[in-house]
Structure 1
Amino acid sequence: MAEEPAGAALAAGTATVLPTGLSAARPALIRALNEQLLLEHIRSSGPYSRADLARVSGLSKPTVSLALGNLERAGLVRLAGHRTGMPGRTAVLYEVRPEAGFVLGLDIGLRYLRGAVADLAGVVRARVSVPVRAATVGDRVAELVDLADELCARAGIDRSAVTQTVVGSPGVYDPQRNLMALTGGLPDWDRPEAIAGLRAAFGPALTIENDVDAAALAEQALGVGRETDSFAFVHVGTGIGMGLVLGGRLVRGVHGVAGEIAFLPLGGDPPAWADAALDAAIVPPEAQRRGTLETAAGADGIVRAAHRRGLTGLATAHSVFEAAAAGDRHAVAVVLREARLVAAAICCVIAVADPALVVLGGGIGQAPGFAEAVTAELAAIAPVRPEVRVSALGTDVVVTGCLAEGVSLAWTQLTAATVP
C-alpha cells in the first residue's frame, strides 16, 4: 500500500509541510510523521477509534490502521475498550500506554526536597517530601538521588524505566557555563559541581527548570492558568520570583532571566544602606545576591520590617501575618507594606506584558487576605487591573510543573525515536 503523505493532515493544522519529492524519497519518514500525528491526537483528546483518527487527522483509514499497528507494537498505544450503543460495528478505541515511560519531577528547596514520579499519562505513582540535611553541594545532590530512588521504589519501578527527569531549582541555568546563576539563598548552588553532579546522577535525559517557571507550567496545565493564555505566576515566600506565560507560551528571555523580579530596584521603606548605595554606587552583598526586592519583601525582609517596628519577638513571616490577623497594628502595617511592594512589582509586569491574570503562590502569596490586600494596592497604582487569584496547587506546585514538562519531553523523545 502506498504511503499517504503527512501533508494530508494539513486541515488539522498540525502536520509538517514536506519539501517537494520528499514523500517519494522517504516513505519511512512519512510513516513516522503520520504516527507522530496520530499519537499527538490520541494524547491530547483520546481515546479514539480508527474512524475518529481518520476524521481528525485527514489520513485515510488504511493509513491510520497501519500507523496504529506500528504504535501498538512499539508499546506507545494500547486498546482502551470498545464504543458501544451506536449504529454499525462496535468501534475499537485506542489510548496512550502510560507505562511506555516514567517521569521524575524534583523540587530543590531551601528547607525541603520534594519529588514525584508519574507515568506518561501524567498519573502520579508516588510522592515524597523530605527535609534538607545537606551541608554541601555534593550532599544535596546525594539527597536528590536518594529521593529519586525512594520514589521509584514506592512506584514499583526501576530507575532505568525513567524516561525524563526534570529538576526545579532556584536560579537560572546557564548552558554556556553549565552552571546555575542567581540562585538566591541556596548555598553554593551556583558552583560548577552542582550541575555536574546532577548530570552524573541522572544522565542526559535531565532538564533543569527554574522553580517558579515550573510553577507557572503547573498552573497552565492544572491550575487557574488553564482559563487564559496570558498570566503571571508570582511566588512570594522565602524568595520572590515570577513565571510569565504569554500567548500560551512560557517567556524565558534571551538569558533565561525573564521573571526574575527579585532584582527589581524596589525596596519600600528605604533600608539602612540605601543612601550609601546611591552615594557610592555600592550594592550590599545581601541585595546583590538575592535582589533588592527580594531582600526587602522576602520572608526575611518581612521579619526585619517587623523588628524595626518593635516586634522583636516575631521570628518568622508566618508569625507576623498571625499577629496582623489578631489585630496588632504594627504587624498590620508590615503586611500592608508587603502588599504594596508586591503590587509595585506586579505593576511593572502589567506595564510591560499586560497579563490577564496574576496567580499568587508561595507561603506569603497564599496567606489569607494577602491577595485582597495586593488587589487593593494595585487599584491605586496600576493602569489596568488584572484579576488576582491564589494558587490552589499547594506546596507541590513546582513538582507538578516539572512532571507536566517531563511528560511532554518524554513523548517528544519517544516519538522522535521512530523517525529514521
Structure 2
Amino acid sequence: MTVVAGGASAARPQLIRAINGKVLLDHLRRSGPLSRTELARLSGLSKPTVSAALGTIERAGLVHATGQRTGVPGPAAILYGVRPEAGFILGLDVGREFLRGAVADLAGTVRSRMSVRAKAVDAMARIQELAGLATKLLGDAGIGASQLTQTVIGSPGVYDPKLDTLTLTGRLSGWDSPAVLPALRDAFGPALMIENDVDAAALAERVHGHGRDVDSFAFVSVGTGIGMGLVLDGKLRHGSHGVAGEISYLPFAEGTGSDARDARKRGSFDASASAAAVVRAARRAGVRGASSAEKVFAAAARGNAVAAGIVAEEALLVAKAVCTVITVVDPDLIVLGGGIGQAPGFLEAVVDQLRLLAPVLPEVKVSVLAADTVVAGCIAAGLDRAWQHVAARIGNSAS
C-alpha cells in the first residue's frame, strides 16, 4: 500500500504540470501569440506556474518564442505561440467529378491546395487517385507522409462500425464495398478519419462561415446530392446510427420510372429535388437545353415560364425539408449550400415558401464558402483530432 500511495503522490505534480500545459496551449491556440503576463491573466495561474508550464510544452516541441511585444511601458515581453510544424493535417474530398485536397499545419495555415478531375471508374482506382493527389499535396507542402498527424477524408455515406464499411454512399459507384475502408487504411495509414462530406461542410461553416457565432444551425446542401450537417450546442451531431442529417431519405413523393428507382436507392427527397431531378422535370416539361440544373435556373432567370415553374417547385420541396428541420430541431440558423442551394435568387424563393409553411422563421442564409468547403471542414476536423494527440504529448513531456 505504501508503494501505491507513493506512486500516486509522485504522479500528482506530473498531472498538474500536464493540465497547466494544456490550459496554456489552448489559450495560445485561440488567442496567441501571448506573453507570460498575458497567459497568467487569461489562465489565472501564477507567473512561476506559467513559466514552468511553458517549459513543459516548449520541451514537447509544441510552442516557441515568436518575437517581442514592444511599444508598451516596461521591458519588451517575449511572445509565445504554437509551433506550426508540430503537426500537419491532410484533408481530402472524394467526389464523383472532382478530388480536392489540402495540407495544413497545426496553426491551421494551409501549406498546399489542389483540385483534380476524377477519372476513376471504380472504387479501387479512385483510392489510387486519392493517394496520388495526397503525394502531390505533401510534395507541394514540402513535408513527408511521416510528418502527418491526421488524415481526414470527406466522403459521401455513413460509417457503419459494426460492419466496418461505408453505407448510403449515393452516386459514388462501388464506394460502399467492404474492401474500400481497408484499402483506404492501407493507402493512408492508421491516422485516418472518415467524415461525411456534408457534415464536413457544416464544420467548415462553423469555423469559417455563418455558423461561427451561432450555437445551433443546420447546413442544408442541395445539388448533385442532398444532405444536411447539424450543429447543436456548438457540436456536430451524427446521431446514434450516424444518419443524422440524411434528409435525402425524407419520404417525399417518389414518382415512377427512374424517379422511383432513384428514391429506393438514394432516398425520396433526393429523387424529387436533386440536380438530376430538376433536369428530368425540365426535360419532361419540354425546356430546351436542359442539360444541367444550372441551365434550367438560367432559363428561368431569362423569363422561361416553364423553367420558372420548375424552380418554384424546387424551392417548395426544399422549403418543406427545411420546415421539417425547423419543427424537429428549431435551430438558430439555416445555411443553404450546394449548386442549387447557392443559386442566385433561390434563397428568396425558399424563404417565401417557409413564411407560409413554418411555425417560426429562423435566419436563412446562403453559404459564402467556395468549392473546397468539404476540404476546409476536413482540415477543421483533423485539427480537433490532432490537438488530442498534442494533449497526449504534453502528458508524456511532463512525466
Same fold by TM-score greater than 0.5: yes
- How is 1:326-365 mapped onto 2 (pairs within 5 angstroms)? 326-365=302-341
Are positions 1:369 and 2:345 aligned together? Answer: yes
- The residue that corresponds to 2:44 in the other structure is 58
Q: Distance in 1 between matches of 2:213 and 2:193?
A: 27
- Residue 48 of structure 1 and its aligned partner are, at CA, apart by 1.3
Name whichever of 23-32 and 290-299 sits farther off. 23-32
Q: Distance in 1 between matches of 2:368 and 2:275?
A: 21
Q: Distance in 2 between matches of 1:377 and 1:365?
A: 14
8 Å Cα contact 2:56/2:394 also seen in 1: no
Contiguous gaps of at least 5 residues in structure 1: 1-20, 275-282
SS at match of 1:184: coil
Change (3 A) 1:79 1:310: same
Ranked by relative contact order (alpha carbons within 8 Å, sequence separation 6 or more), the top structure is 2
- How is 1:392-403 mapped onto 2 (pairs within 5 angstroms)? 392-403=368-379
Q: Distance in 1 between matches of 2:93 and 2:9?
A: 44
SS at match of 1:70: helix
8 Å Cα contact 2:35/2:78 also seen in 1: yes
- Residue 415 of structure 1 and its aligned partner are, at CA, apart by 1.9
Identical residues among aligned pairs (%)? 58
- Residue 52 of structure 1 and its aligned partner are, at CA, apart by 1.5
- The residue that corresponds to 1:299 in the other structure is 275
Describe the superposition over 1:211-251 as per-residue Cα deviations: whole angstroms up to 9, x where unpaired: 00000000100101113111110101100000011111111
- The residue that corresponds to 2:286 in the other structure is 310
TM-score (norm 2): 0.94
8 Å Cα contact 1:114/1:129 also seen in 2: yes
Describe the superposition over 1:223-282 as per-residue Cα deviations: whole angstroms up to 9, x where unpaired: 011131111101011000000111111111101100000000123xx62269xxxxxxxx
* Aligned residue pair count: 390
8 Å Cα contact 1:23/1:30 also seen in 2: no
- The residue that corresponds to 1:184 in the other structure is 170
Q: Quick one: which amino acid aligns to residue 70 of structure 2? A: T
- The residue that corresponds to 2:245 in the other structure is 259
- The residue that corresponds to 1:113 in the other structure is 99
8 Å Cα contact 2:337/2:366 also seen in 1: yes
- Residue 25 of structure 1 and its aligned partner are, at CA, apart by 4.1
Alignment equivalent of 1:136, drawn from 99, 122, 125: 122
SS at match of 2:334: strand
8 Å Cα contact 1:113/1:144 also seen in 2: yes
- The residue that corresponds to 1:417 in the other structure is 393
Q: Distance in 1 between matches of 2:238 and 2:21?
A: 31
Describe the superposition over 1:341-400 as per-residue Cα deviations: whole angstroms up to 9, x where unpaired: 000000000000011111111111111001111111111101111111111111110000
Q: Quick one: which amino acid aligns to residue 366 of structure 2? A: V
Q: Quick one: which amino acid aligns to residue 277 of structure 2? A: G
- Residue 87 of structure 1 and its aligned partner are, at CA, apart by 2.3
Contiguous gaps of at least 5 residues in structure 2: 1-6
Are positions 1:245 and 2:231 aligned together? Answer: yes
- Residue 296 of structure 1 and its aligned partner are, at CA, apart by 0.9
- Residue 418 of structure 1 and its aligned partner are, at CA, apart by 2.8
Alignment equivalent of 2:55, drawn from 53, 69, 81: 69
Are positions 1:230 and 2:216 aligned together? Answer: yes
8 Å Cα contact 1:79/1:92 also seen in 2: yes
Describe the superposition over 1:85-137 as per-residue Cα deviations: whole angstroms up to 9, x where unpaired: 22222211100011111111100111100101111111111111111111111
Q: Distance in 2 between matches of 1:343 and 1:234?
A: 11
